[in-house]
Amino acid sequence: MNLSRPDFIRFGREVCGDIVQAERREWWLANGLGAYASGTVAGTLTRRYHGLLIAPAEPPLGRSLVFAKADAVLRDGQREWPLFANRWADGVVDPRGYRHIESFHLDGRMPVWQFAFGDLRLELRIWMEPGANTVYLAYRPEFGGREAREVSLRIKLLVNARDHHGNAEPWRFNPVIEPEGECPHSGLTVRSAPLPGQGTPHKLRFQLRGGSIAPDHTWYENFDLTAEQERGLPQRDHHLCAGEALIELQRDEWSGLVASLETDASPYLEEAMRRFHARDAGILAQARVQVDELRHAPSWVEQLVLAADNFIFSRPLPEVPDGESVIAGYPWFGDWGRDTMIALPGLTMATGRTESALKILETFARFVDRGMLPNAFPGSGQTPKYNTVDAALWYLEAWRAYVEETDDQAALRQVYPVLEGIVKSYQQGARYGIAVDPADGLLKAGEPGVQLTWMDAKVGDWVVTPRIGKPVEINALWFNALNIMTAFAGLLKRPADSYKQMAEQTRRGFQRFIHPQHGGLFDVLDGPEGDDAAIRPNQIFAVSLPYSPLESEHQLCVVRQCGRELLTSYGLRSLAPAHSEYKAHYLGGVWERDGAYHQGTVWAWLLGHYALAEYRITGDAERALSRLEPIRDHLFDAGLGTVSEIFDAEPPHLPRGAPAQAWSVACVLEAWWKLERERRKAS
């Protein structure tokens, strides 16, 4: 690896041997096809989404858990030690193999465990094959002395065939398990044929490197998923042992296994490991070549560059066979229009991946309908959902960022009619009451029972923050979009006067948002109950976006109010603490958590926008960059090497929600990239 510190994220026994600390830290891998692998440092399963291979058996995102665990026991002569741990329904953790972990670190993105037993050490590495639904586990022993030594592993291979959102029902899964290869067998095939609603049929193939495998058909029931219990969801799961592998270990040599849904997966561990490291090294090399600011970036920023790759995945379409998109977060999100466009500049332009940026933009261009981008991108056989007012406006901003970075006028010329159609549809009227008010030039949106802005939590028929009327960030985005279209029209030598005129009317109308007492901004104007003066972070976009409708004195008021009331180490609160609906913690079942989602909960993606807004009013890039520094420390917690979706509103601001979120990573990266550029200019 070419990271400035290959083991930047590293823990010793003080964390690995403490079940609470080791379980709260999770590793996440992705393969660029929508599949992922995940687990805890302790080796326990605490989520229904933990597993060694969760793959789209029904592409693009119909993901199923197919390979849950590999429970290994190390044998040295007559002595045996478990390398794994399990939580059971009675509250017992048995065995406690985590106590033997001497260290854990990420080698780039690859999780690495070092187990120690006297003079015997065993290293375990797990990784996914880029571009294939394949996972590798490799073991390498080190021991003193020169005498021959019988060291081996027995590994129970636990499989499943359930949707990754569900929990297993043993009687529904009865696969055909067949050995492969000469006797003793070095391979195993698990042919799944689950009933409807229990995943998609698949063929999982195991191959060993340095051992044999015997079929089995034993159920292990009542794994206790504590993270699901915390979320108020079913917490019991069950897995089938499809076989037991026996591997004879050789000093300083790699042995292990590959599990794959592919027909051509290679069992050669060293070659596969080199391919994975080459992928990570190539990502960093490309970033350093394409983005000057990354040539001397600190290790934590390099780690985010690698994390960014986990979210970009292949989404081919008939019109765009090499199409790409963005998974909003792991483990439970798919690709969403709003999240994708917000994240796109940070995931691609800030990492030197402009080709991916264009593929994503072109992929989504095919789904613009009546001026709107889909909120939920369609899965196989599904219909796009267009319940978002801001996704199309972020789409315009993503195009601005792309053209500014590449000057790709040919691509802009091709998409320009689509962008024109977005503005025209919003001006004349789109779904859900989206239209420009001719009286003030502001964009209004919303109908009862529909959530259209990013504050979109809904439980049953309850829309927690409906924000019907004229939301402040929607109109900041609208003003930004009109100025973008003015610039694009000029670049392509198209008529621009209408965009200029609309932008000026919107700028004048936007002054209505200014609160007469403190100079901050109303959150929503002209709602069913009048103007909403709740102090929320949505006003920050009126300063952070490239085109601001505010004069500098009012920009200062906005940043001051957000800094005093909403700023935390990891992002902005979604509601000021003094508000009667403020929720200090994001806990409980679905109803309680969704009720707190945008009522105080801290959102990491807003931290980058705050830093950019602060720089705009102060011109102090060093100070703005310092706002991002706490994210460095967060990379050692929760989803290791990546950034969580949300945090509790009150200290110590514990991480919550998805442990790996695209726009959290992207907005921090984008802000760092832009601010570092400004810092270098000033130095």
Percent of the chain residues past pLDDT 90, beyond the cut: 88
| Per-residue pLDDT tens over the stretch 491-526 | 999 999 999 999 999 999 999 999 999 999 999 999
Of 379, 363, 358, 377, nearest in space to 323 by CA: 363
Please check the confidence at residue 3 and state whether its pLDDT lies above 90.
Answer: no
User: Burial level of 143, CB count in 10 A (0-12/13-18/19+)?
Assistant: middle
CA distances from 640 to 11, 24, 428 (A): 11, 10, 46
Please check the confidence at residue 6 and state whether its pLDDT lies above 70.
Answer: no
Q: Whole-angstrom Cα distance, residue 603 to residue 336?
A: 17
Q: Which pLDDT value is given to residue 380?
A: 58
The angle that helices 552-565 and 605-618 make with each other, rounded to 10 degrees, is 140
List the structure tokens of 592.
């309680």
| Per-residue pLDDT tens over the stretch 28-52 | 999 999 999 999 999 999 999 999 9
Please check the confidence at residue 570 and state whether its pLDDT lies above 60.
Answer: yes
| Per-residue pLDDT tens over the stretch 422-478 | 999 999 999 999 999 999 999 999 999 999 999 999 888 899 999 999 999 999 999
Query: Taking all residues of the chain, what is their mean pLDDT, rounded to a whole number?
Result: 94
CA distances from 382 to 60, 237, 379 (A): 11, 28, 5
Of the listed ranges 73-82, 124-133, 173-182, the one predicted with least confidence: 173-182
| Per-residue pLDDT tens over the stretch 211-225 | 899 999 999 999 999
In degrees, rounded to 5, the angle at the alpha carbon of residue 129 between the alpha carbons of residues 124 and 181 is: 80
- pTM, 2 dp: 0.96
Of the listed ranges 176-190, 439-453, 485-499, 583-597, the one predicted with least confidence: 176-190
3-state secondary structure of 182: coil
Long-range CB pairs of 191-197, under 8 A, 24+ apart, other chains included: 192/66, 192/161, 194/161, 194/162, 197/163
The confidence band for 311, taking pLDDT boundaries of 50, 70 and 90, is: very high
Strand 462-463 relative to strand 203-209: parallel, antiparallel, unpaired?
unpaired
Q: Whole-angstrom Cα distance, residue 210 to residue 619?
A: 60
| Per-residue pLDDT tens over the stretch 348-400 | 999 999 999 999 999 999 999 999 999 987 665 567 889 999 999 999 999 99
CA distances from 530 to 458, 469, 520, 523 (A): 22, 9, 17, 11
Judge contact between 387 and 451, C-beta under 8 A. yes
Report DSSP state, residue 185.
Answer: P
The angle that helices 391-406 and 472-491 make with each other, rounded to 10 degrees, is 40
| Per-residue pLDDT tens over the stretch 12-27 | 999 999 999 999 999 9
The confidence band for 1, taking pLDDT boundaries of 50, 70 and 90, is: very low
Of the listed ranges 55-64, 212-221, 366-375, 551-560, the one predicted with least confidence: 55-64
Of 651, 556, 639, 532, nearest in space to 600 by CA: 651
